Structure 1
Amino acid sequence: MALIIGAIIVVASVLGGYVLHGGNLLVLWQPTEVLIIGGAALGSFIIANPGYIIKQVFRGTLQLLVGSPFNKAYYVDLLSLLYDIFDKSRKQGVMSIEEDIDNPEASEIFLRYPAVMKSKELLVFITDYLRIISTGNMAPHEIEGMMDNEIESRSHELDEPAHAVNKVADALPGLGIIAAVLGIVITMSFLSEGPERIGLAVAAALVGTFLGIWMGYGFVGPTSTALEHHAKYELKAYECAKSAIVAMVSGQAPQMAIEFGRKALPTNKRPAFQELNDHVRAK
C-alpha cells in the first residue's frame, strides 16, 4: 500500500507542478520513448540476473503492494510457535518433538501458525536446528556459530533482489539519454520543415531524458530501497529464532528463551512483554 501511495504522490507532484507551470501534458505522452527505455531496462535486467533472482524481484514487488508479511503479528506467532516447541521439549523430553520437526505439515503445533508455515526457508531453518539439538550433543556456542554462518549466507541471498533492482535504477538515466539521442537523430530529418516541427521533435527527444531520470529516481530506486527493508524484516525473523533456540539450549526456561528472541526484533515491530505473554497463554 505504501508503494502505491508513494507512486501517486510522485506522479501528482511532478506532473501537477509541470501543468501549473504552464506545461502541456500531451507533449510528455511519448509511448515510443517509454518502449525504448522500459524495454532496454527490462532486457538488461534479464541479462544481468539469473532466473531465481528475477522471480524473487517480482514476488517481492507484489508483496510490497499488499504489505510485508513480516509484521508484529507474524513475529508474535513465530515466538509462540517456538514457545510451544520448547515447552513440549521441556515437559516431555527432547525426543518428543521429533515427529513435529520431521513433518511440520502434519504437526499439531506447527499447524497452529499458518503464517510461519508459509515461510518455507525459515521453517527449514528452525526444524534443522531443532533436529540437530534433539539428535546431537553440541554446545550452545557451537550451535550459535553454525546459525550465524547460515544467517550471513541468507542475508546475502535476501539482499540480491534489492541490489538487482538498484542496478536498473542506476542504468535508467543513461537509457533515457539513449532515447533522447535517438530522438535528436530523428529530428535531423526535419530540418527543412520549419522551427515548429523541429521544436516538437526536440521536445519529444528531451522527454526520453526526463523519463529515464524520473523512472530511476522516482520509482525504481525507491522500490529497491523498499525491497531492502523487506529483506531486513525477514532476516530479523531468523535472528529472533536463533536467539530463542540458543537460549533454550543454554538451559533457559521456554518463557525466558522466547524473551531472548523478542529482544532480537526491531522495536517498531516488537510485541510488548505482556502482549506476547497473553498470546502464548491464549494459544
Structure 2
Amino acid sequence: MIGFVGIAIVFAMVFGGYIIAGGKIGIILHAAPYELMMIMGAALGAFVIGNDTHGIKHTLKDVGKVFKGPYWKPQDFRDLLCLMFQLLHIAKTNPVMLDTHVEDPAASPIFSAYPKILADKEGVALITDTLRSASMNYDDPHQVEEVLSKRIEANYHHAQHSAHTLQNMADGLPALGIVAAVLGVIKTMASIDQPPAVLGGMIGGALVGTFLGVFLAYGFVGPFASRVKDVIDEDQHFYNLIREVLVAYLHQHAPNICVEVGRQNTPSGLRPSYDELEGALRDSKQSLAA
C-alpha cells in the first residue's frame, strides 16, 4: 500500500506544481503517448536483449515486492527458531529419529507444522543438508559455516538480478529520453517554415521526451530498483538465521542456546522478544513431549 502512496505523491507534486506554476498540461498530454512509446519501448527492448527468459520472468515477478514488501515476516522468524529448536532437540536426544525428518521433510510433522517454511525449498534444503552432513561426521563448525555462507551468498547474488536489471533500466532512461527529444527536434526542424506559435508547441513536445526520461528514471524505476534490493536484503536475514543456529549447534551448544544465538543475530525489527520466544519454545517442548 505504501508504494501506491509514494506513486501518488510523485505525480501530485510534479504535475501539481507544474500546473500551479501556470504550465499548460495539454502539451504534455498531447506528446506523452508518442514519447512514452519511444522511451519505454526502447527501454523494454533493451531489457529483453539483456536478459534471458528466466531473468525476464524473475524481474517481472520481483516488481511486486515493491508493493508486497518482504516475504518473511517477524512471525516467520519466530516459527523458524521454534522449528530449529525442535530439530536440534531431537538431534541431541535421538539422532536416529532425526533421519526421518531430514530425509522427507514433507512427511515430517515438525516441518508440516510450519507450512510457509516447508514451502521454501532453499531454506529447507539448508537445514536438512547440514543436519544430514553433521550425522555423517562432517561437523567442523568453521568449515560448515564457510560452505553455508558461500551457498547463501550465491543465492543472494542470484536474487539480486532483478534489482540490478531495474537499476540498469533506470540508468538508461534519461539517455533514451534525450533520444526521443532529438527526434522531436528533427521533426521540428522539418517544419521550420511554420509560425512561431506552432514551432513553440513542437519544441515543447520534443522536450517532453527529456522530461519523461528523467522523470521515469528517478521518480519510478530507480526507486523500484532500490526497494526491490532492500526487500531482498531483508529476506536474506531468514537464511542467515538458519546458518547462525546450525553453526552454534555444531559448536556443541544446547538447542536453547543455539536458538538464542540466532535470535540475537536477527535484526531488531524482525527479532522476537525473549519472552515471546520462550513462550513459543515452551509450546514446542510440550508438543515434543506429546
TM-score range, shorter chain: over 0.9
What's 1:51 paired with? 53
Q: Distance in 1 between matches of 2:98 and 2:69?
A: 33
What's 2:205 paired with? 204
Q: Deviations over 1:121-158 (max 9, x none)?
A: 22222221122112333221221121122122222222
Q: CA deviation at 1:110?
A: 0.9
Q: Distance in 1 between matches of 2:51 and 2:144?
A: 34
Describe the shift of the 1:10–1:282 C-alpha distance in structure 2 as closer, same or farther (beyond 3 A): farther
Q: Deviations over 1:2-22 (max 9, x none)?
A: 322211111111111111111
Q: Distance in 2 between matches of 1:16 and 1:126?
A: 53
Q: CA deviation at 1:119?
A: 2.2
Q: Deviations over 1:226-279 (max 9, x none)?
A: 111111112211111001011112111111101111122222221111112222
Q: CA deviation at 1:116?
A: 1.4
Q: Distance in 2 between matches of 1:280 and 1:216?
A: 48
Q: Distance in 2 between matches of 1:279 and 1:190?
A: 75
Q: How does 1:103-122 map to 2 (within 5 A)?
A: 103-122=104-123
Are the counterparts in 1 of residues 182 and 206 from structure 2 also a CA contact under 8 Å?
Answer: yes
Q: How does 1:249-268 map to 2 (within 5 A)?
A: 249-268=250-269
Are the counterparts in 2 of residues 77 and 115 from structure 1 also a CA contact under 8 Å?
Answer: no
Does the residue aligned with 1:23 lie in a helix, a strand or coil?
coil
Q: Distance in 2 between matches of 1:225 and 1:194?
A: 46
Q: Distance in 1 between matches of 2:50 and 2:184?
A: 27
Describe the shift of the 1:26–1:74 C-alpha distance in structure 2 as closer, same or farther (beyond 3 A): farther
Are the counterparts in 1 of residues 167 and 225 from structure 2 also a CA contact under 8 Å?
Answer: yes
What's 2:131 paired with? 130
Q: CA deviation at 1:48?
A: 1.2
What's 2:170 paired with? 169
Does the residue aligned with 2:64 lie in a helix, a strand or coil?
helix
What's 1:245 paired with? 246
Q: How does 1:22-37 map to 2 (within 5 A)?
A: 22-29=22-29, 30-37=32-39
Gaps of 5+ in 2: 285-290
What's 1:76 paired with? 78
What's 2:5 paired with? 5
Counterpart code for 2:28: L
Q: CA deviation at 1:40?
A: 0.7
Q: How does 1:264-283 map to 2 (within 5 A)?
A: 264-283=265-284
Are the counterparts in 2 of residues 176 and 211 from structure 1 also a CA contact under 8 Å?
Answer: yes
Are the counterparts in 1 of residues 139 and 250 from structure 2 also a CA contact under 8 Å?
Answer: no
Are the counterparts in 2 of residues 101 and 127 from structure 1 also a CA contact under 8 Å?
Answer: yes
Counterpart code for 2:120: S
Counterpart code for 1:21: A
Are the counterparts in 1 of residues 263 and 272 from structure 2 also a CA contact under 8 Å?
Answer: yes
Q: Deviations over 1:169-195 (max 9, x none)?
A: 000000000111111111122222211
Are the counterparts in 1 of residues 245 and 261 from structure 2 also a CA contact under 8 Å?
Answer: yes
Does the residue aligned with 1:190 lie in a helix, a strand or coil?
coil
The number of residues matched between the two structures is 282
Are the counterparts in 2 of residues 68 and 230 from structure 1 also a CA contact under 8 Å?
Answer: yes
Q: Distance in 2 between matches of 1:97 and 1:103?
A: 10
Q: Distance in 2 between matches of 1:118 and 1:22?
A: 55
RMSD: 1.5
Q: Distance in 2 between matches of 1:17 and 1:103?
A: 61
Counterpart code for 2:71: P
Q: Deviations over 1:56-114 (max 9, x none)?
A: 21221113322222221121122121112112222322x31222222222211111112
- TM-score of the aligned structures, taking structure 1 as reference length: 0.94
Q: CA deviation at 1:168?
A: 0.5
Q: Distance in 1 between matches of 2:256 and 2:28?
A: 61
Identity across the alignment (%): 34
